[in-house]
Amino acid sequence: MHSAPAGSGAINRPFPDLEAEYDRLPGARSLRNCWSTIATSSQISDTLCCSMAQTIQVAIAVPLLDGMGVIVVTILNHALTLFVVINFIRHERRVRHAGAAFWSDVAIAGIVILLALIAHFIDIALWAALFRFRGEFLNYGTALYYSAINYTTLGSDVVMTAKSRLLGPLEATDAMLMFGVSTAMVFTIIQRLVQIRYPDLRD
């Protein structure tokens, strides 16, 4: 193995002979230059993309107001769903269906879960309508799909224009809160059904 003299300032290469032999091969230098050009182009592309991302001005005030309007409607939607569920459970208890048998309790819990799902579907449709209203998508079906992706926080390769980009995080935040409300509602109903059916489990 060759090594540069101490203090010479040269860079030590582990296999200089192999590198020299490689450079003597036909087309080796052209291939090395090609890879160097590709690496340089990639660096330039990354720099341009970073620069463009930093110069995009994302609108805040208007999409924030529009998003808050939809959030208020989704809150009312889930409040109405909760009202319906409470009265449904009260009715089932008055007619002595709640806690009467295993399958009747399964049916009650299933109906509650179905009502919660319908409420979430309405939320998704409302956000899709806002995206369509702001001209982000050419048809409602695409807007609905994008809204569902945002609402379930799956993420998407589709990016809205700068004037509406803030709506994506707003919808995801709204969805997490509404999923929390639905989860609490379903858990409370199931807990109540268990307590009715098994008195020894009551507090």
- In this predicted model, what pLDDT tens digit does every residue of 105-132 receive, in sequence order? 999 999 999 999 999 999 999 999 999 9
170 and 99 part of one domain: yes
Q: Tokens at residue 37, please?
A: 């050009």
Specify if 7 maps to a domain: no
Tell me the per-residue pLDDT of 3-58, one tens digit each, with 9 for 90 and over. 445 544 444 555 555 555 555 555 556 656 665 666 666 665 555 455 444 555 76
- Same domain membership, residue 170 and residue 73: yes
In this structure, the answer to whether residues 24 and 88 fall within a common structural domain is: no
| Token reading at 24 | 């003597």
| pLDDT attached to residue 52 | 44
Q: Domain for residue 169, yes or no?
A: yes
Instruction: Say if pTM beats, i.e. exceeds, 0.85.
Output: no
Residues 27 and 100 in one domain: no
The residue to which tokens 């409302």 are assigned = 126
pLDDT at position 198: 82
| 109 and 189 inside one domain | yes
Count of structural domains within the chain? 2
CA 27 to chain centre: 48
Residue 4 resides in a domain = no
Q: Which whole-number Å values give the CA distances from 47 to 42, 43, 58, in the listed order? A: 9, 6, 20
Establish if 165 belongs to a structural domain: yes
* Count, residues in the chain: 203
pLDDT at position 1 is 47
> For residue range 31-44, what is the model confidence (pLDDT) as tens digits?
566 656 666 666 65
Q: Are 114 and 176 contained in the same domain? A: yes
Q: Output the pLDDT for position 63.
A: 83
Pick the residue with more confidence: 96 or 33?
Answer: 96
* Better pLDDT: 18 or 82: 82
- 174 and 131 in a common domain: yes
Query: What is d(CA 61, CA 160) in angstroms, rounded to the nearest whole number?
Result: 16
Q: Are residues 149 and 174 in the same domain?
A: yes
> How many Å apart are CA 75 and CA 71, to the nearest integer?
6
Rounded Cα distance between 146 and 179, Å, is 18
Which residues constitute the domain of residue 47?
16-55
